[in-house]
Amino acid sequence: MKTLVRKLWLPGALIIGLLFAGCLLVSLTYVIVTNFSFTASSGFYTQSIDLTNNKTWDDNKDKIDLIDAVGFEMTMVNSNDEPVTFNTYVTPAGTAYTRKGQLDSLAYVIIHDLTVEHGTTVMTYAQSLTHLENLDKLKELVKGGSFVYYGTATSGGATVGGFSVNPGKIVVTFTVTK
Amino acid sequence: MRKYVLIAILLFAVAQVAVGQVPRLGVGAFVGVSIPVVQKDQAKGSDFGFRVRLKALSFLVVEPNLEFVKWGKPGVVEGVDLGIDGSKVTSFGVDVTLGGLPGAVGFKPFALVGAASYKVKNDQTGFDESHLGYSAGLGFIIGLMAKIDVDVRGKLVIIPTTGSGSKKAANIAAGLNYNF
């Protein structure tokens, strides 16, 4: 028996090593960060997001198997005296909505009725994960590489200025197979 | 997939009884580290578990096992502190070792292959996938006496995900086995 084990030990180890060396080359999980900012002051914000501007994404865009996670890091500045209600939405690329009513009926809300107090508020990536809605749709749009990101700031039901997000960061975790 | 692994374990146990064999039996517990491989959203974490060791042939041991891995926090990525916990990986399955027989004193190297039902979950990101995965590795057992073995092993684990991707990790663990 000992002889048999000795004979099988080395080839067994080589086979296992080669098997895993091959497998290790085929699948990786990346995290990328894309910056954005809302600079308008009318209370209605829009930003086209193109992930292909990120080199890691662009190099792997045809090999993406899975969007593991999507989240945001945002520094929000509310210069109004009163708190504002912040909503964000996403749509497929190419839309150009101009009113909150259109977003409420046609877009996918991903952060819903977040109250932002006067001053500067930072939403961390981990905190954003607790607010996200329509996550499956968001992942689907992200996987496509480009989409439109909308935001509204309202007070008393009307959009208000004096609110900005700068910087904003979209954090995408994805798995590729090569 | 979990039910197939469970069925395989049960069939093996039944087969042992059916042929009237009394396999050399051992039980063990282990702790160690799990190192995610090419996963930028995870960091090195902890690993512990339990196994039963059944000597099936004169050179082969079958090991039903239960394993719990908790990967570490990923830290800062491209200037963003993700601030989230690593994923948890729970598995139950069967490893087969070539060598490393229980019940003998001395140094006993072995190679292993295994299959298990893996569940990878992260409550914060919502990632939750369960699939049949595979592992292979090397190790050695030091038989301190007939009933007590020190068991050290490393294995690479491949857990398929939706699509054709996978999560991989290197698990390195040490433990004690008690042989009946």
pLDDT band with cut points at 50, 70 and 90 for residue B66: very high
Q: Could A31 and B74 be called an inter-chain contact, meaning their C-beta atoms sit closer than 8 Å?
A: yes
Closest chain A CA to residue B110? A9
More confident residue, A155 or B139: B139
pLDDT band with cut points at 50, 70 and 90 for residue A10: low
Closest Cβ opposite residue A129 in set B109, B124, B166? B124
Q: Are B107 and B123 in contact (CB under 8 A)?
A: no
What ipTM, to 2 d.p.? Answer: 0.76
pLDDT band with cut points at 50, 70 and 90 for residue A76: very high
CA A120/CA A123 separation, integer angstroms: 10
Q: Is A122 on the interface with B (CB under 8 A)?
A: no
CB count in 10 Å sphere of residue A15? 14
Residue B105 with chain A: CB contacts under 8 Å:
none
Segment B21-56, tens digit of pLDDT = 444 799 999 999 999 998 888 999 999 999 999 998
The residue whose two tokens read 């409550």 is B123
Closest Cβ opposite residue B162 in set A4, A66, A73? A66
pLDDT band with cut points at 50, 70 and 90 for residue B15: very low
Q: What local confidence, expressed as pLDDT, does residue B165 receive? A: 83
Average of pLDDT values for A4-23? 56
Average pLDDT, chain A: 84
Percent of all residues in chain A with a pLDDT value above 90, rounded to a whole number: 44
Segment A19-55, tens digit of pLDDT = 555 555 578 899 999 888 776 557 888 888 898 888 9
Cis amide linkage into residue A167, ω under 30° from 0? yes
Q: Say yes or no to pLDDT of A145 above 60.
A: yes
Closest Cβ opposite residue B80 in set A28, A29, A73? A73
- SS3 string, chain B, reads CHHHHHHHHHHHHHHHHHCCCCCCEEEEEEEEEEEEECECCCEEEEEEEEEEEEEEECCEEEEEEEEEEEEECCCEECCEECCCCCCEEEEEEEEEEEECCCCCCEEEEEEEEEEEEEEEEECCCCEEEEEEEEEEEEEEEEEEECCEEEEEEEEEEEEECCCCCEEEEEEEEEEEEEEC
Q: Could B98 and A12 be called an inter-chain contact, meaning their C-beta atoms sit closer than 8 Å?
A: yes
DSSP state of A63: G
Query: What is the SS3 assignment for A131?
Result: coil
pTM of the predicted model as reported, rounded to 2 decimal places: 0.81
Residue of B61, B80, B108, B124 to mutate, testing the A interface (most A Cβ within 10 Å of its Cβ):
B80
Segment B69-115, tens digit of pLDDT = 999 998 888 888 889 999 999 999 999 999 988 888 899 999 999 99
Residue B80 with chain A: CB contacts under 8 Å:
33, 73, 125, 169, 171
Q: Are A84 and A118 in contact (CB under 8 A)?
A: no
